[in-house]
Amino acid sequence: MNLDEKLEYLMQGTDYGDPSIAEAMAQELRERLIESEKTGRPLRVYCGYDPTSSDLHLGHTVSMRKLRQFQELGHDVTFLVGTFTSLIGDPSDRDKSRPLITRDQAMENARTYAEQAFRVLDREKTTVAYNDEWLSEVTLADILKVASNFTAQQILTRESFHRRMEAGEPIYLHEFLYPISQGIDAHHLNTDIQVGGTDQLYNIVTASRKVMSSYGQRPNIGILMPLLPGTDGEMKMSKSLGNYIPISSTAEDMYGKVMSIPDKVMDVYAKLVTPWKPAEIHAFEADLKAGRIHPRDAKMKLAWAITSAFYGASGANAAQNQFVALFQKGNTPDEMPEYLTDCRETLLEIMVSNGLAGSKSQARRLIDQQGVKLDGATVDDGNLIVNHECIIQVGKRHFLKVAIKK
C-alpha cells in the first residue's frame, strides 16, 4: 500500500461525530505514518479492555480488528487489560454508575480476555499488558499533578453525566478518575495511537491527550470506532439485550446469526468486523446499491467472511452448507436439544428455561413478532400449555424438541 491507501485502511469505519475532529486525527495520523516510514520506528498502538465479564462478542472485536490492521502494516500493538480501571468502572455512555467489581473478579475475567482476543490479533505480534501493574503504584502526588489539568465543569458537561444530573442520579467522585486513569495508561505506554469506541471520545481525544501533554509527551492520536449494532439492527450489541453474536460458540451459530441481521446494517458489518480491505468493501457496497447482487446473496457473502475470520474457510463452508440445507431447502436439523416437560409448563416458561429467550418479556416480544413456531405453525399465545411432543422453533435458527415425561 502507498501512504494514501494505508491512511484509508486505518481510518476505515472510524466515527468521531464531528468532521473537524475526524480531519484533525486523520492529518495527525498521516504525519505519524510519514515519520514512521522515515525513521523505521513502528507506531505504538494500544486499546484497553476492562474485563467486566468473562466472554466476548462480535461487538468487542471491532477495535481488535482495527488493531489487527495496524499489525498488518508492521506497527506494535498492545492489548491492554484494564485490571485496575475495571475496579473504577467507565462512566462513558452510562445512565447510572457502573457496578464495581473486585480485583479477583477482574483477574478471573482477564485470564480469558487475551486468549479470546488472539482469534483476531496476531499472537506473535501482540503485547498483553495489565494496567494494575502501574496504576496501583500511582501516588496521591501523581493524581494531583494530573488532575490539575482538568476542571470539574469539563467533566460534568459530558453527556452521560449531564443526563444523570438532570435525572437526579448520583455521580460519584471515583468516576471522575476514570478518564484520568486512562490518560495515565497512555502516558505509561508512551503511545502513538489509542483505539476505542465512539463512547470513548472524551477519554481518548480529550483526557488522554491532555495527560500526555502534561508529561511533556506528544499526545496520542485517537482512532474511534462506532459501536456495532446487534442482530436487531437498532441497539448496540449487548449480551444483556440478547442481540449479541458470541465469538466462542460455533461456526454455525455465528453464520446463522449474521444471516439474521437486517439488510440495512450489512455495510456497517462489512466495514467493522470483516477482514476486507477498502477496495473489497467499496465493491460490496457498489454491487448492493446497483442491484448486481441479491441482498440474500450479499448477506451470505458477508456471513462467510465474518465466520471464516474466526473458524477458517472449512468452518465457514460447513456453516454455510448447513444454513442452505436448513433454511433455503426447508429442512429441520437432524440433531437439536431435547427437553422433558411434565405438561404443566407454558411455552414462555419452556423458552426461558432452555435459553430460547432471556426473559419472559423477551419471549413475549418474540411471539408478538410472530417469531415462534410450534411444529411449523406460528404461535400467538405464550401462555399456551405445552402438553404434547413437538418442536419449538424460535426465529430461523433455534430449535427445541419437547418430549413428555412418562
Per-residue model confidence as pLDDT tens digits over 290-324: 889 888 899 999 999 999 999 999 999 999 998 88
SS3 string, the chain, reads CCHHHHHHHHHCCCCCCCHHHHHHHHHHHHHHHHHHHHHCCCCEEEEEECCCCCCCEHHHHHHHHHHHHHHHCCCEEEEEECCCHHHHCCCCCCCCCCCCCCHHHHHHHHHHHHHHHCCCCCHHHEEEEECHHHHCCCCHHHHHHHHCCCCHHHHHCCHHHHHHHHHCCCCCHHHHHHHHHHHHHHHHHCCCEEEEEHHHHHHHHHHHHHHHHHCCCCCCEEEEECCCECCCCCCECCCCCCCCCECCCCHHHHHHHHHCCCHHHHHHHHHHHCCCCHHHHHHHHHHHHHCCCCHHHHHHHHHHHHHHHHHHHHHHHHHHHHHHHHHHCCCCCCCCCEEEECCCCEHHHHHHHCCCCCCHHHHHHHHHCCCEEECCEECCCCCCECCCCEEEEECCCEEEEEEECC
pTM score of the predicted model? 0.77
Q: Which CATH superfamily is domain 251-328 in?
A: Tyrosyl-Transfer RNA Synthetase (1.10.240.10)
Q: What is the pLDDT of residue 54?
A: 67
Low-confidence ranges of the chain (pLDDT < 50): 93-96
Q: Which CATH class is domain 3-225?
A: alpha beta
Q: Structural domain boundaries of the chain?
A: 3-225, 251-328, 338-404
* Domain 338-404: assigned CATH number: 3.10.290.10
> pLDDT for 36-91, tens place per residue?
999 999 999 999 988 776 678 999 999 999 999 999 999 999 999 888 887 776 65
